[in-house]
Structure 1
Amino acid sequence: MLVARDVPDKYQQLRLRLEIEQGRLLSWGHSFGLLQEESEKEDTSRISIPEQVRYMVQGYIEPLWQKVLHFTAETPGFVPRDKREETPSVHHGGMARRFRLDRMYAKARQGTIKFKDRVNWAYWQMDKSEDLVECMRHVNGSVIALAEVKTQQEIQETVKATLMGLLSLQDTVNGLKELIVAVEEKRLDNRSSQMPLGEPNDLLLGLANLKKMRLQIGHDKNDGSLQSDLKIQPERVWPMNKMKYPSPQRQDATLDGKEGFWVEYKDYSSSDQIAGPTKDEIERHIVRELAALLISKLPSSFRVAQCVGYYEEAGSFGLVFEKHAAHADQTIIPLSHCLSLETQMPSLGERIALAQGIVQTLFQLHVVGWLHKGLRPANILLFEDHNGGIAYDKSYISGFEDARPVAQPNLTEEAHSRLLNDDWYRHPDIQTVKPAHREFQYCMRYDLYSLGILLVEIALWKPVLDIQSNVGPGDIKSFILSHNTQCLQRIQFAFGRKYAEIVMNCLNPGEEMDDHTQMDSYIYYFEKLVVKPMKQMSVD
């Protein structure tokens, strides 16, 4: 059903609802150990199901299973006529006795994948399809409600990760609208239950709306009114060069004579350069979309500075940012400067809060379809008050000079190496000292690598190039991960085993995080292996 072909628009929301409900059911089954492989059937970590609950659950599942079988039998093309006898029977001997739903699920899959082509949605009846999804929603709510609150929350976290993956795959405005409607419906269901599950869906809805807006801007790129809303006349902006901690990436500025702003620059290729996107492409597909994203109302956990628009000057575009009201009279201080002050190491709790903010923001940036391409301490902004105090839990990711939408690989530009040490934060494939670095197309895993290096610096509170003097950028990954160097042991001693595992997952992700071919899988495992464990860290 989920891979059916020729799906008309009116069925899109229904299919998304079905995918959400499938995720809820399978997450529930996995939480109870019902979808384990045979080799894992003796796993003692599985939750044992009391006999009374077992029969109650079976009472919910059996009618749903009967409805699925009836639905497939009535749908021409779902199972070829010469294969109808292979349709699985609900009378599965082991299910009633042992409640092994994994076997039933596997058997159902065997009976439905043996058709020559995908199901054509033209065969489906809307009312029966809606009835099936509604039945599945009711069953999910009933069986999940039988679990303990902690298990319900774990199920919700798993479903949220799946939905984030779904969001990352949606590349049309209509598709995102349907996802928003489906998630909104699920959020209302949650609020009517006893589960405290509203917050994850609020975040998901916020990100879905952001991505929808970005796609709309892409479709309306020739809209003059949109351009006038985002583009600022250059004479309104006046750079001042008064930053206490100067940086090649940014300058403080006034806007219409008012202080509290700064500018970050994005260069564009000169007319005599053949390679790379044109100035017009950069403005339409990167600068304008980026300004619109950063000018929007963002979730509180999306820690990026508030953009007010952009302007053009010779050879570059300037993105204009405004300080948050809470930091209006405070001084911008990059994390790179803080790391150099080893005598002023912040507390463990402050460093955890700093790491959590960076992780969550990068994750959300990826979910809405953007690559940062410049994640390093110089682009993590903090604010220093008049007494020298720094709020490490109020960090902002900045430095979007190389950023681009994931969906625009043709807009890839060579990284701007304004600082000699930038290669320390680049994945070994794309370090500029390597002649072949231009052969690799930038992907999300490369941002994840940069995040891993940042997390190492935060844990040890020193710049990565000072961690080991005789190791270069090309060898730092091996140095950190090697058991012989004890770098991971130092990180684990400072922050615990969970943090060290997060670092390993960033620097050396598995195949499931190959976002070139499995975008939804990448998002799912980013949330599961990095975001979720980082969120769980705290100082008692």
Structure 2
Amino acid sequence: MTDPVSLTFGIAGIVGSVIQTYNAVMSAYELYLEVKDVPSEYEDLRMGLLLEHQRLELWGSHVLAEYYDEQKRHRLSQKHINTWRTMEWIFSRIREAFIENNQILDDYGQQLGLPAQGDSSVFDLIGRLSLSAKSPAKHGFSNYTKRMKFVLTKQKKMRDLVMQLSYWNNGLDQLTSRLDQDSSRRRLRTFFSTSNTTQLRHLEAAADLLEHRDIQLMAAARIVIEQGYLSEQPDCPPEVEIIPPGSDGQRTGTAPLSDYRLEMDQLQWQEKPYATDQIRAMARFGEESVIVDWRCCQDDSWRRTHPKAFRRRTENLTRILNSDLKPLSLSILHCVGYLNQSQNVTGYAFRLPSGAQPGQKPVTLYDLLKRIERPNQPKNIPDLGERFELAKALVTTVFNIHNIGWVHKNIQPKNILFWPKTDAGERDEPDLSKPYLMGFDISRPNQPGEVSEKPLSHFEDDLYRHPHYKGLYARSFQPSFDIYSVGVILYEIGMWRNVAYQGPSKSNNPRRPSLPTHNSDPQLVERMVEHGTIMAMKQYTGARYRDAVKSCLSRDFDNLWEMEAGDQQRQLQAYLELFQNMVVDKLAVCNA
């Protein structure tokens, strides 16, 4: 058995070494990133350096702080000391990478006639900086800065350094759980999605180089949104170059708006292709089956008076949904194109998910919840674990839609589809772990000045809409309204009942409390909270799930959006951080 005293002193020494080296490495990053006026060719590599710097900072603020706290509380074990030793080894490799590059700085500096550093290495300088609270001498190494500025033109050397830093950051990630890794990736995407949008091209290139596919896809989608927004400004030419996400970036000239537009006669319809506000039609497109999601808006005056703007919005959304969405964990089908059946009605054609039979129709969450209205059939309630996985997939999808700068605006059970499990046999049991969000016709970019169309209004659909987004005095849509809709659906998933259903009390399942409202109540969800129905969820779903639902239905997201009014990027960043902390990360740890 290891002597506790020796273990304490041993881990204390390693902790001190790791923290000191971590601080020095972060200072090295900052020195490199402070160099200004570098050649434009270097900007991709500089963005890669910033990306890895932010990764390490997020890792340190979470993992390093957590382990350090455990050490201070003397919750020590051999596992802890082994982990700290691994950290120490990895940080020593990062240190060596910077020192090797520092030698390059000295060599090239001498070629320029700059004075040499002598026996003092860059890590001596960096070490002194990291030990200073205010770092007053940080800007005093003018000769060192000149060397750095010169060597940054040596792209191969810098590329090798950035690649090494990415490799060792990957090693540090492996010391954490999958849940922690996913959480850190979300925070990393939020940081860059809410940063300077003029750097998106450099971010996309850097993420491609370092194989951060989620960051690359997010940046590519943001580019499409930003260019679509700019194309509507008065001084923009009629057509702009828009390179689709996932392309090789080699397209030249302008991108015609008809890239993804389909004609009605290009599809072989398996049923009458007639569209109302909630109709979907199955068809064949070439050799594969597709499902066409038809939608129309409440008032089509904007579409009629601004056909070009509406066409661009439709085209840009199709470009985003046509890319590989797996790195972002978006539960959305692959879109092959869009169709215009009329001035008011637009349809998006989606490939069926892998494993689905040709022409196989889906079932909606609305259909599944309606089934449980039949009295005394608790066997139809899916396992809690399955419902948790459904909830996680839904909130992750909405979070990432907002992260790329888009809002859905029509989240409701009729727009959440499932296909049968591949091994379900003749039962056609839906796969709840693989929901697919649809109903994008009135969705739009989350950009200032974007016109917001409203969906058709029905009582059941309005139950999922924020109180400020219905009625005669509806406000302009904001992202927190989507979260409100998610909250109502999370309640339904947790209790597995439709919020609109009010059956006779004698047939209600006593294990699932009914809602204290009736069909004419305009404040359904508010009454759910006031009368404690949400609070009662704890005994059925646990406290974490209950708290996530309560957060969605509270006005915290609304208040945050309104308090930060005027600064779009700051609003989005604060909103996404709160959404992740209060909803996404809480649901991520729910298991049954």
TM-score in same-fold range (> 0.5): yes
* 1:307 is the counterpart of 2:331: no
The question of whether the paired residues in 2 share the 8 Å contact of 1:277 and 1:411 is answered with no
CA–CA separation in structure 2 for the residues paired with 1:132 and 1:9: 14
Task: Return 5+ residue gaps in structure 2 as ranges.
Answer: 1-29, 110-123, 140-144, 232-239, 244-252, 502-513
Question: What does residue 450 of structure 1 align with?
Answer: 485
SS at match of 2:320: helix
Figure out how many residues of one structure are paired with residues of the other and give that number.
Answer: 481
SS at match of 1:227: coil
CA–CA separation in structure 2 for the residues paired with 1:240 and 1:298: 28
Residue identity in the other structure for 1:18: L
Question: What does residue 433 of structure 1 align with?
Answer: 471
* 1:364 is the counterpart of 2:400: yes
Question: What does residue 281 of structure 1 align with?
Answer: 309
The question of whether the paired residues in 1 share the 8 Å contact of 2:407 and 2:444 is answered with yes
CA–CA separation in structure 1 for the residues paired with 2:435 and 2:153: 50
CA–CA separation in structure 1 for the residues paired with 2:466 and 2:73: 38
1:121-176 Cα shifts (integer Å, max 9, x gaps)? 9x94453998899879868976996x79544767744542332124423676x834
Once the two structures are TM-superposed, the CA of residue 479 in structure 1 deviates from its matched residue by: 4.2
Question: What does residue 584 of structure 2 align with?
Answer: 531
The question of whether the paired residues in 2 share the 8 Å contact of 1:65 and 1:90 is answered with no
CA–CA separation in structure 2 for the residues paired with 1:15 and 1:453: 44
Once the two structures are TM-superposed, the CA of residue 498 in structure 1 deviates from its matched residue by: 2.3
Identity %: 21
Once the two structures are TM-superposed, the CA of residue 476 in structure 1 deviates from its matched residue by: 4.5
The question of whether the paired residues in 2 share the 8 Å contact of 1:268 and 1:282 is answered with no
* 1:220 is the counterpart of 2:267: no
Residue identity in the other structure for 2:338: Y
The question of whether the paired residues in 1 share the 8 Å contact of 2:42 and 2:153 is answered with no
The change in CA–CA distance for 1:22 and 1:476 in structure 2 (over 3 A counts) is farther
TM-score normalised according to structure 1 size? 0.70
| Residue of structure 2 aligned with 1:489, choices 530, 536, 539 | 536
The question of whether the paired residues in 1 share the 8 Å contact of 2:365 and 2:418 is answered with yes
| Residue of structure 2 aligned with 1:251, choices 264, 275, 280 | 280
Once the two structures are TM-superposed, the CA of residue 444 in structure 1 deviates from its matched residue by: 2.1
The question of whether the paired residues in 1 share the 8 Å contact of 2:484 and 2:553 is answered with yes
Deviates more, 1:303-312 or 1:229-238: 229-238
Once the two structures are TM-superposed, the CA of residue 221 in structure 1 deviates from its matched residue by: 6.8
SS at match of 1:485: coil
CA–CA separation in structure 1 for the residues paired with 2:132 and 2:465: 43
Once the two structures are TM-superposed, the CA of residue 354 in structure 1 deviates from its matched residue by: 1.7
CA–CA separation in structure 2 for the residues paired with 1:64 and 1:254: 56
CA–CA separation in structure 2 for the residues paired with 1:333 and 1:275: 31
1:427-479 Cα shifts (integer Å, max 9, x gaps)? 23x331252x23x3x23222222212211110011122345242777644544
| Residue of structure 1 aligned with 2:427, choices 383, 387, 395 | 387
* 1:179 is the counterpart of 2:217: no
Once the two structures are TM-superposed, the CA of residue 512 in structure 1 deviates from its matched residue by: 7.0
Instruction: Point out the structure with max Rg over C-alpha.
Output: 2
The question of whether the paired residues in 1 share the 8 Å contact of 2:189 and 2:403 is answered with yes
SS at match of 1:464: coil
CA–CA separation in structure 2 for the residues paired with 1:274 and 1:295: 25
1:459-504 Cα shifts (integer Å, max 9, x gaps)? 011122345242777644544555x6152332x2222222223223
Question: What does residue 335 of structure 1 align with?
Answer: 365
The change in CA–CA distance for 1:531 and 1:44 in structure 2 (over 3 A counts) is farther
SS at match of 1:459: helix
TM-score normalised according to structure 2 size? 0.65
Question: What does residue 15 of structure 2 align with?
Answer: none
SS at match of 1:411: coil
1:46-66 Cα shifts (integer Å, max 9, x gaps)? 998799889879978999999
SS at match of 1:311: strand
The question of whether the paired residues in 2 share the 8 Å contact of 1:425 and 1:453 is answered with yes
The change in CA–CA distance for 1:323 and 1:406 in structure 2 (over 3 A counts) is same
* 1:169 is the counterpart of 2:194: yes
Question: What does residue 347 of structure 2 align with?
Answer: 318
1:399-420 Cα shifts (integer Å, max 9, x gaps)? 012111223x433223113422
The change in CA–CA distance for 1:239 and 1:91 in structure 2 (over 3 A counts) is closer
Residue identity in the other structure for 2:539: F
Once the two structures are TM-superposed, the CA of residue 373 in structure 1 deviates from its matched residue by: 0.7
Q: CA RMSD in A?
A: 5.0
The question of whether the paired residues in 1 share the 8 Å contact of 2:332 and 2:438 is answered with yes
The change in CA–CA distance for 1:321 and 1:27 in structure 2 (over 3 A counts) is closer
Residue identity in the other structure for 1:431: Y
* 1:421 is the counterpart of 2:460: yes
CA–CA separation in structure 2 for the residues paired with 1:155 and 1:459: 24
Question: What does residue 297 of structure 1 align with?
Answer: 324
Residue identity in the other structure for 2:347: G
